[in-house]
Structure 1
Amino acid sequence: MENNQNLKELVKQRYSELALNADEPKGCCCGRNPASPSKKVFTIMSEDYTNLKGYEPDADLGVGCGLPTQYADINKGDTVVDLGSGAGNDCFIARAEVGESGRVIGIDFSPKMILKARKNALKRGYTNVEFLEGDIEEMPLHDNTADVIVSNCVLNLLPQKNMIFKEIYRVLKPGGHFCISDVVLNGIFPKEFTDNAAMYAGCIASAIQREDYLKEIEKADFMDIRVERTKTVLIPDEVLYEHLDEDTIRKYKSGNVGIYSITVTGWKP
């Protein structure tokens, strides 16, 4: 339990620094460690949101690994919850889908991110978008609140993955569904790779096997589970050499392993 809390604090620190540096060139959740001296910025998994209705450039921190709202089947009047809402990017896109009659709720565990997202909503006069500070494993929401839950490159960062989809199930209304873009692995990675703190905060080492990820969704009793999109994630050598020693890199490259971004949907009966 203490180790899980330490990992969460590591990620919270990384994203708090990202919020403070949001006006700098965009990185991604698998880019540089803000505490490191490197000034290089990598966009390993970030997606192009610019053509989506509701897109707000100053709310896009470049940390996503997919476009979950594109596959979320959001309708006018829906209540949408975004897990790990950051500066509000996916929330504002969801707002364009739900219209004035709908509601969008963003949840994030970084107080600095919540503050930034609220400022972004306030200056646009959005009255049906709100941002709540809280843990995804224990959402500050009542049962059966949401029609749709979305999340973008966040759940893989949380240590207690067995709790996440059960909590999503609780908050969804009967007949509701989720659409989540996330990072998954295939194959056995070197222990030195998965134990590396910087790679963990960068959302690679914290990811689990694709098969195990989908099993957690099944165990939470979701139905009609579909992988809507799969995208291979390639880590530049510059990132590897910044955080790992040569022996670990050699083991990683010689292993039969893969890193993927998947967008998956599932329905609550």
Structure 2
Amino acid sequence: MSEQPTSDSTTDGLAPDEQRRAVRRRYAQIASESSSCCSDSGATPTEELTRQLGYSEDEETAVVDGANLGLGCGNPNALAALQSGETVLDLGSGAGFDCFLAAREVGDTGHVIGVDMTPAMIEKARDNVTKNDVRNVEFRLGEIEQLPVADETVDVIISNCVINLSPDKQQVFHEAYRVLRPGGRLAISDVVLTAELPADVHADPESVASCVAGASPIVDVERMLSNAGFEAIQIESDEASEEFISEWDAERDVSEYVVSATIEATKPV
């Protein structure tokens, strides 16, 4: 693997508002066309891609078509060890695939909240609530830097390849800490930076919106989580993710710069 990038390697790029517009624009298109967030290879994720991301056949078939858009870089539910009755929050919930899987785990006494900043995605996810006939899932429009969730009301936060899209990741982790109950936990799949990105990638809206240019080095993610107050921080990269990340960009092999990782942390009791 290439040498770890320095901590200031992601500072030069799009202005925050421009970055949010690029992300919102791309995901509105995904919601309307059902194309993958990180590649344009097809309308629905293949079975092979779903397995590469860590989902079982049972998980794939448990949710009706239209919720799994192939948007992630892992399976946060596999990390979360969800329990019956827990309240789960999904940051950047898309069409709701991970939310519906979480709903199965927490049961009728549990509750799942999905937050997404793209109105078209929220509309699609809410339609999928009816299609999946679930009663313990809701979707809220909002930005993950300013969560529409009350203080200390969530047991577990999951997220799948979304936090890298934020122009203010430190604020995202502060918000996550705020809404978690004491003892609550993060279980996140995301991409992290493993090598310096070419200068032109930082200022490319498509690269920012496709889970590449916004990635941070592991050391930076650890620092931001610690600054927010989290403990028991564990971040592990998944070298096998090169297989699908290499297909995200037709012009360059972005697996030379980013890798999927699992990110776990706990709010102190």
> 1:8-53 deviations in whole A, cap 9, x for unaligned?
011001001101012xxx52x3213xxxxx9899989762533328
Among 245, 249, 252, the residue aligned to 1:239:
249
**CA–CA distance in structure 2, aligned partners of residues 238 and 183 of structure 1:** 12
- Cα distance in structure 2, aligned partners of 1:174 and 1:264: 18
Q: State how far apart, in whole Å, the 1-side matches of 2:75 and 2:45 are.
A: 19
Counterpart pick for 1:170 among 166, 178, 187: 178
Equivalent-residue separation in structure 2 for 1:224 and 1:73 (angstroms):
16
**Residue 51 in 1 paired to residue 50 in 2?**
no
Are the aligned partners of 2:64 and 2:132 in contact in 1 as well (CA < 8 Å)?
no
| Counterpart residue number, 2:3 | none
| Paired position in structure 2 for 1:87 | 95
Task: Give the Cα separation in 2 of the matches to 1:158 and 1:104.
Answer: 22
Measured in 1, the distance between the counterparts of 2:110 and 2:44 equals 36
CA distance in 2, matches of 1:14, 1:45: 20
With a CA cutoff of 8 Å and minimum separation of 6, indicate the structure with the bigger relative contact order: 2
1:154 aligns with 2:153: no
Partner of 1:100: 108
CA displacement at 1:164 relative to structure 2: 0.8
Contact (CA 8 Å) 2:218, 2:235: kept in 1 or not?
no
- Look up the match of 2:201: 193
Amino acid at match of 2:95: A
Gapped regions of structure 1 (runs ≥ 5): 33-37
Q: Deviations over 1:157-189 (max 9, x none)?
A: 011112111100000000110100001111222
Task: Give a deviation string over 1:72-120, Cα, whole Å, max 9, x none.
Answer: 0210000000010011100000000000110000000001100110111
Are the structure 2 counterparts of residues 118 and 190 from structure 1 closer, same or farther at C-alpha, using a change threshold of 3 Å?
same
Contact residue 30 and residue 45 of structure 1 kept, 8 A: no
TM (norm. structure 1) is 0.84
Give the total of aligned pairs.
248
Kept in 2: contact 1:56–1:92 (CA 8 A): no
Q: Which structure 2 residue ranges, 5 or more long, are not aligned?
A: 1-13
* Matched-pair contact (CA < 8 Å) for 2:234–2:265: yes
